[in-house]
Every structure is written in C-alpha cells, then in structure tokens.
C-alpha cells in the first residue's frame, strides 16, 4: 500500500499553502495532519512539539484519532518512541506489543496497529515529531518516509515562526506591563496552542508560567463508566503538573458544580488509586503554591521577587546532570571540591550528593577592599594541601570573572594535578575576563538574581528557587 509520487506532490502543494496562511498554529497543524494522513492512506496523523524542558510531547495538530487515544496520558519524551527525538525515522509494526510505545494497552483498545514517526528538526535538534497511524499492519516504503520527512521540514518552519511570534508578543507585553503578574513570563513556554474553556484556567496557567511550573492542559481523559462495553462517562482534569506528578481540576464556588466534580473525583480515585489529583479553587491553589514557598501566601522571604527564573525542580534536574558529567569525567579518581563561602553552600551540598566518585571538600572565604569591589582579599585559605590533587572549583555564579580569575591563579600556585571550574550560573553578559568554565548549569540574563544561596544584603539565600529581584529594590545598585 502506498501513494504515488504524484499524490505526494499534490499533498505537499496543499500543505505549503496552508503553512503560508494566516491560520492559527492549531488549525494549521490540524489541516496538515489531515492532508498527510489522506495522502498516505493512513487512519490517523499526529503532530507533536517538544516542551520547553524537553521532557514531554504536546499535541499541536491531529486527524483521525479518538479523544480517548489523544488524552490517554502525558507523552514522556524518554518513554514514547524516544529514538525519534534522536533524529531517527522509527517504524513500529505492532504498537500493542512494542516496548517503545508508552501506552500499548490503549493502542490495543483503539485498534492502532502500525506507527511511522519522524522528527521535526530545528537548527539540527529535534523540536517535535510527526506520527502516522494505521489500523491494519502496514509496511512503509522509502517514498512514504521521504514524504513524511518533507512534511516535517515544513512543520519545523511553522514551529519556529510560532515561537518567534510568541517571543515578540512576550517582549511587547513585558515592555507594556512589566510589573503585572498576569503578563510576567521569564521563560517563554514553547508552543502551547491552548484554547481555555474558562478564564480562570487561563489565569491559572499564567500563574504557573510565572513560577516556571511546567503544565499540560487537559492531557488525559479517565473513563469512569461503561455501558455495553463502550465508555459512557469520562473525566478530564484541567491540568497536569509533571514536576509534582499532580493532576489539578479547577472549580468555582457553585455548589451544583462542586457536588458533581466531587462525585467524579471519588469515582476516579476508586478506579485509579495511583493517580494524584486535587480539586482546587483559587484560594486552594494559592495555599498549594505557599507549600512550595511560592505565591502571595508564601513566606515573607518571597517578597521582593519580580519573577522566578528557575524552580527548585529545574535546579535539581540540572545539578544531577552536572554531577553525572563530572562523575564520568573523573571516573577512577579522587576529587577535591573547593567553594567560596557563603553563596555556594546550597549548590555544593546538592552537587556532592549526586557524585558517584570519592570527594573531599574545602572552603575559602574572600572579601573586597579598595572601595571599588575589584580587589580581592582571601580571608580564609584552604585547610589542606591540593598539590598533586584533582581540583574542581565550584561557584554559585560567575559574572565579570575577575574574582574567579584571581582565585584560580591562587590555586594554580599550589600545583594541583588538574584544575577545572563548575558554576551553577553564568552571567556571560557581564564578563570582563574570559575565564574557562568547564561545567555550567544555566546562563542567566544581566539582572540581579537571588535564592538558592545567592543573597541581596544577606537575605534571600534560603529561597528554594532562583529568582530575579524586583528592580525597585536595587535602584542604584551596580550589578
């Protein structure tokens, strides 16, 4: 089975016209999915984008697939045909029996047999996928694969155009309404073409974006009742928060709606006891944020934060990644970690817990004198000799590089076997001396950041996240 080259050529012409139209991202991708499935004589097509954390796949266009199949659960990029995001074309002969398929049981109930998936590549990296589904077992030809890759190239342009539009829109909003919570978004979320059913859901999403909490809107439908072997009732929670492994259903104070939702939640918990779900009104959600140290009901330590740059979960994921790289690079060796008090304490503590090699710790303390902050004085030196040792200098943040350059020169004089630098934050925009950085957590903008050990006038070190201090608090302060 397969379409002729003439059919594919005609389909590509239609797809190109749609791609160049003023339609929304969702409508554009739905139209492309329809043309693609029909040209390939397939039962369904799904266009997916990779979220900003590169952990989940979000549907941006679909054709021919049931609502139950689309909302079977969040698609984990590491579990759902992961080879596609490595740039490979993936063919699954039987989706009900292949371990690379995340939900084989749902594929069985929905009659999905064969799957063909290709990556959507942007600047050499996977930013999404296109998947073709058939109900009958199917072998795909090279012409089929070539056609689908051509469609993926068109989708890559559409994705990047949508992202550029989003960035320009966010930049405009930031300039116009910078101090309003509803418009604050430090890191644009990648391709979330969502039409919310209620304004409260949009407000909820904006609040999640402000705190950099990743979310998926209506990602899964749970069957609650069956009649005659068919699903008679389903429940679709409003949001899923992957970092918290939590489904959230929003509600108003209307008693009739609240009673019905509570009934469905009781059924869901009985049928799916492993699912963590909460029914929240606005006050409930603010209390939930406060539990994690966020939001207006959080502790006073959050006051003065303009916006959250990196959440605690994001930091921990990055720290684990750095620790794995360091452990691999120093395999079979002992390592001395050296930090400058006090800002590095949180980072150093978390980093060493994830290292799988023997380590020892040492600390230094410094002060500045001369009135201009450019001259460094060591007030506490190392307790032990580092001569002949492998040394990793651990920093909380590197900006101008002047202090780090001085410290590295001081340590080099002790003749260590090797000397490298690991920093959680790199404020490259402030660099005056080009010091070598071997391991970097995040590159941050030229703004005053606090939290996770970083302070302003001795405060904010105990924040669980890294945030940007409100500009009014640091007027006249030299960053």
pLDDT tens digits for 97-125? 888 888 888 888 788 999 999 999 987 88
Closest CA to 398 of 441, 355, 358: 441
- Contacts by 432-439 with C-beta closer than 8 Å and gap 24+? 432/400, 432/401, 432/402, 433/400, 433/401, 433/402, 433/404, 433/405, 434/401, 435/398, 435/401, 435/404, 435/405, 435/408, 437/398, 439/322, 439/325, 439/326
Q: How many helices (H) and strands (E) does the chain have?
A: 11, 21
Kindly report whether the peptide bond that precedes residue 342 is cis, defined as omega within 30 degrees of 0. yes
* Residue whose pair of structure tokens reads 């350059």 in the numeric block: 405
Q: pLDDT by residue (tens digit) across 23-38?
A: 888 889 999 999 999 9
Distances (CA, A) of 212 to 203, 242, 438: 14, 12, 27
Residue 201 has what pLDDT?
80
Averaged pLDDT for residues 417-426:
95
Cβ-count burial 343-382 (b if 16+ within 10 Å, e if not): bbbbbbebbbeebebebeebbbebeeeeeeeeebeeeeeb
pTM check: above 0.95: no
Contact 427, 304 (CB under 8 A): no
Count CA atoms closer than 13 A to 308's CA, side-chain side: 26
Contact 42, 133 (CB under 8 A): yes
The whole-angstrom separation of Cα 259 and Cα 205 is: 24
The whole-angstrom separation of Cα 407 and Cα 339 is: 10
The whole-angstrom separation of Cα 218 and Cα 72 is: 10
| β pairing state of 222-227 and 90-92 | unpaired
Domain 5-167 and domain 194-298 have a common topology: no
Considering the candidates 144, 306, 399, 426, report the single residue annotated as catalytic. 399
* 194-298 CATH: 3.40.960
| 381 is a catalytic site residue | no
Residue 53 has what pLDDT?
74
Q: Does domain 310-474 have CATH number 3.10.20.30?
A: no
| β pairing state of 335-341 and 390-398 | parallel
Count CA atoms closer than 13 A to 303's CA, side-chain side: 4
Contact 432, 400 (CB under 8 A): yes
More confident residue, 79 or 186: 79
Averaged pLDDT for residues 406-420:
94
* CA 349 to mean position of chain CA atoms: 24
* 5-167 CATH: 3.30.450.40
Query: Which ranges constitute the DSSP H helices of 116-141?
Result: none
Whether residue 193 is predicted with pLDDT greater than 90 in this model: the reply is: no
331: how many CB neighbours lie within 10 A of its CB? Answer: 9
Kindly report the backbone phi and psi dihedral angles of residue 158, in degrees, each rounded to the nearest multiple of 5, phi listed first.
Answer: -65, -45
- β-strand partners of 366: 378
* Residue whose pair of structure tokens reads 């934050």 in the numeric block: 425
Averaged pLDDT for residues 224-242:
85
Query: Which ranges constitute the DSSP H helices of 354-447?
Result: 402-412
93: how many CB neighbours lie within 10 A of its CB? Answer: 12
The whole-angstrom separation of Cα 239 and Cα 227 is: 27
Residue 54 has what pLDDT?
79
Contact 74, 216 (CB under 8 A): yes
Token digits of residue 27:
């409508």
The domain segmentation of the chain, as residue ranges, is 5-167, 194-298, 310-474
89: how many CB neighbours lie within 10 A of its CB? Answer: 16
The whole-angstrom separation of Cα 43 and Cα 133 is: 6
Averaged pLDDT for residues 193-211:
71
Whether residue 358 is predicted with pLDDT greater than 80 in this model: the reply is: yes
Token digits of residue 284:
């409930």
Q: pLDDT by residue (tens digit) across 432-459?
A: 888 889 999 999 988 889 999 998 888 8
Q: pLDDT by residue (tens digit) across 129-187?
A: 999 999 999 999 999 999 999 999 999 888 888 776 665 555 544 444 444 433 333 33
């Amino acid at each position: 089975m397969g379409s002729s080259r003439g059919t594919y050529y005609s389909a590509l012409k239609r797809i190109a016209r749609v791609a160049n139209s003023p339609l929304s991202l969702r409508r554009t991708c739905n139209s492309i999915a329809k043309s693609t499935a029909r040209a390939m004589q397939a039962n369904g097509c799904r266009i997916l984008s990779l979220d900003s954390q590169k952990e989940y796949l979000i549907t941006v266009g679909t054709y021919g697939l049931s609502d139950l199949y689309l909302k079977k659960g969040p698609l984990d990029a590491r579990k759902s045909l992961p080879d596609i995001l490595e740039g490979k074309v993936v063919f699954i002969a039987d989706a009900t029996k292949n371990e690379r398929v995340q939900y084989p049981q749902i594929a069985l109930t929905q009659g999905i047999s064969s799957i063909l998936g290709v990556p959507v590549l942007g600047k050499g990296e996977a930013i999404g996928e296109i998947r073709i589904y058939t109900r009958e077992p199917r072998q795909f030809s090279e012409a089929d694969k070539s056609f689908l890759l051509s469609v993926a190239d068109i989708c890559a342009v559409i994705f990047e155009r949508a992202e550029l539009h989003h960035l320009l829109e966010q930049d405009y909003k930031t300039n116009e309404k910078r101090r309003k919570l509803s418009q604050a978004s430090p890191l644009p979320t990648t391709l979330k073409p969502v039409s919310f059913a209620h304004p409260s859901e949009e407000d909820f999403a904006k609040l999640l974006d402000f705190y950099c909490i990743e979310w998926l809107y209506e990602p899964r439908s749970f069957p609650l009742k069956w009649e005659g072997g068919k699903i008679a009732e389903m429940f679709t929670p409003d949001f899923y928060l992957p970092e918290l492994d939590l489904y959230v259903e929003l509600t108003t104070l209307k008693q009739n709606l609240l009673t019905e939702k509570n009934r469905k939640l009781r059924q869901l918990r009985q049928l799916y006891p492993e699912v963590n779900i909460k029914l929240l009104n606005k006050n409930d959600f603010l209390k939930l944020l406060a539990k994690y140290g966020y939001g207006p009901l959080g502790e006073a330590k959050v006051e003065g934060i303009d916006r959250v740059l990196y959440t605690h979960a994001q930091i921990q994921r990055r720290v684990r990644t750095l620790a794995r790289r360091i452990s691999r690079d120093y395999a079979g060796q002992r390592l001395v970690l050296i930090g400058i008090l006090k800002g590095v304490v949180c980072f150093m503590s978390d980093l060493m817990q994830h290292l799988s090699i023997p380590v020892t710790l040492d600390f230094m303390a410094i002060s500045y004198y001369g009135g201009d902050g450019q001259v460094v004085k060591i007030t506490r030196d190392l307790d032990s000799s580092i001569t002949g040792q492998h040394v990793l200098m651990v920093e909380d943040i590197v900006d101008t590089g002047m202090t780090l350059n001085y410290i590295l020169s001081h340590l080099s004089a002790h003749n260590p076997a090797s000397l490298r630098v690991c920093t959680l934050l790199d404020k490259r925009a402030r660099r005056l001396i080009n010091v070598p950085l071997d391991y970097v957590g995040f590159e941050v903008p030229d703004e005053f950041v606090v939290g996770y050990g970083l302070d302003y006038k001795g405060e904010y070190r105990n924040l669980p996240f890294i945030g940007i201090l409100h500009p009014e608090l640091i007027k006249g302060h030299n960053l």
